[in-house]
């Protein structure tokens, strides 16, 4: 299961838990208000109804409410995936229970049917809101025909409450529609931000990577060696710098064409990627010249790696050059703590010059 899907399930679970807590709180408030109202009535107007009648009127609906809430709580713990539908069903059930038992005492009792409308709006689902609206209006019509009193006052009250429920539902639809628009806008913004981040990463890569060879470029090399030398001054660890130059590269271009020269450069870069370690750094410095920074324990260990690389390049035939080989001359220098970038590069460059002068296709340590 993907991480975003798990996060979505967790958010839904938390919302269901919150709504369940609200339902518990509402049940308590309804019970407390009933008890308070009936207590006032029986104290001030005892002739209207007996205490036994009031207790019975409170006992039945609140007992049903308690059973529904306990069942809903158990359902949520057992089948959390289906809690949303259970909550909507429970809200409708509780609304009709309270409507049935208190409608004889309070003319505004049908307003309690707004409760399922509000719950379905919270879930931002038009289908659920429409179902709740149909059930609530249908139940309201049924209650009206159950009354024996069909006086104008009752008709007016019925029309007002029906319109109130319809207005609440329309408001709910508007809230859901607006919420959907906001979600779409948020998704669009997030997508734009993601595309911008990707473009930024690509631009940073283009600024630091040589497009032909895939190695780091001249700028990236200078940034890296400056950071490496700064770390060396703080922690004192060995660094080796190697400069590689493809031998007779102009002759390769003149004989086989620049496209073959590009292939030779890419093949040499591929050998570097294969033979240097993960702690090493290789870059195309410019033209047919490359640089490598190593962090071996000593110059001899670095020389062995560079030599393996030189031999691998010399033994790799290039199909586009009639399977002929290229070779590289290399200058290698151990960078001591305190040396500047310019001095280290000068030493490695002098070693490279010696390799060129003494026959090419060799490594010289300076």
Tokens of 3: 């991480």
Query: What are 328's strand-pairing partners?
Result: 246
Q: Detail the DSSP E strand segments found in 299-353.
A: 328-335
Q: Which residues, at least 6 apart from 190, have a Cβ–Cβ distance to it below 8 Å?
A: none
Count CB atoms within 10 A of the CB of residue 7: 10
Give the whole-angstrom CA distance, residue 49 versus residue 188: 62
Give the whole-angstrom CA distance, residue 142 versus residue 107: 15
Q: What is the dihedral of CA 243, 249, 250, 256, to 10 degrees?
A: -160
Residues 82/16, Cβ–Cβ less than 8 Å: no
Of 84, 288, 296, 339, which one is the catalytic site residue? 288
Count CB atoms within 10 A of the CB of residue 193: 10
User: Does the annotation count 296 as an active-site position?
Assistant: no
Buried b / exposed e along 135-150 (16+ C-beta atoms within 10 A): bbbebbeebbeeeeee
Q: Which residues are catalytic?
A: 288
């Amino acid at each position: 299961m993907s991480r975003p899907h798990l996060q979505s399930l967790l958010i839904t679970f938390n919302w269901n838990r919150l709504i369940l807590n609200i339902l518990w709180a509402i049940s308590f408030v309804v019970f407390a208000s009933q008890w308070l109202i009936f207590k006032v009535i029986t104290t001030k107007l005892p002739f209207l109804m007996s205490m036994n009648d009031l207790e019975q009127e409170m006992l039945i609906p609140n007992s049903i409410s308690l059973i529904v809430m306990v069942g809903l709580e158990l359902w949520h713990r057992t089948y959390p995936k289906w809690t949303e539908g259970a909550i909507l069903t429970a809200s409708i059930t509780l609304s009709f229970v309270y409507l049935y038992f208190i409608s004889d005492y309070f003319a505004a009792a049908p307003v309690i049917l707004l409760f399922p409308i509000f719950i379905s709006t919270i879930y931002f689902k038009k289908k659920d809101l429409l179902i709740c609206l149909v059930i609530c209006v249908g139940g309201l019509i049924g209650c009206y025909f159950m009354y024996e009193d069909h006086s104008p006052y009752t008709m007016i009250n019925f029309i007002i409450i029906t319109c109130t429920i319809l207005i609440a539902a329309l408001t709910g639809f508007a809230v859901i529609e607006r919420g959907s628009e906001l979600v779409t806008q948020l998704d669009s913004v997030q997508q734009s931000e993601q595309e911008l981040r990707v473009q930024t990463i690509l631009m940073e890569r283009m600024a630091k990577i040589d497009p032909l060879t895939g190695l780091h470029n001249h700028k990236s090399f200078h940034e890296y060696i400056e950071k490496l030398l700064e770390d060396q001054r703080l922690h004192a660890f060995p660094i080796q710098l190697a400069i590689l130059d493809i031998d007779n590269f102009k002759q390769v271009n003149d004989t086989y064409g620049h496209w073959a020269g590009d292939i030779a450069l890419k093949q040499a870069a591929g050998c570097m990627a294969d033979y240097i370690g993960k702690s090493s750094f290789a870059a195309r410095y410019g033209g047919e010249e490359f640089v490598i920074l190593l962090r071996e324990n000593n110059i001899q260990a670095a020389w062995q790696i560079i030599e393996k690389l030189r031999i691998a390049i010399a033994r790799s035939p290039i199909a586009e050059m009639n399977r002929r080989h290229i070779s590289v001359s290399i200058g290698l220098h151990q960078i001591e703590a305190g040396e500047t970038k310019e001095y280290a590069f000068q030493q490695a460059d002098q070693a490279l010059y010696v390799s060129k002068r003494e026959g090419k296709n060799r490594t010289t340590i300076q």
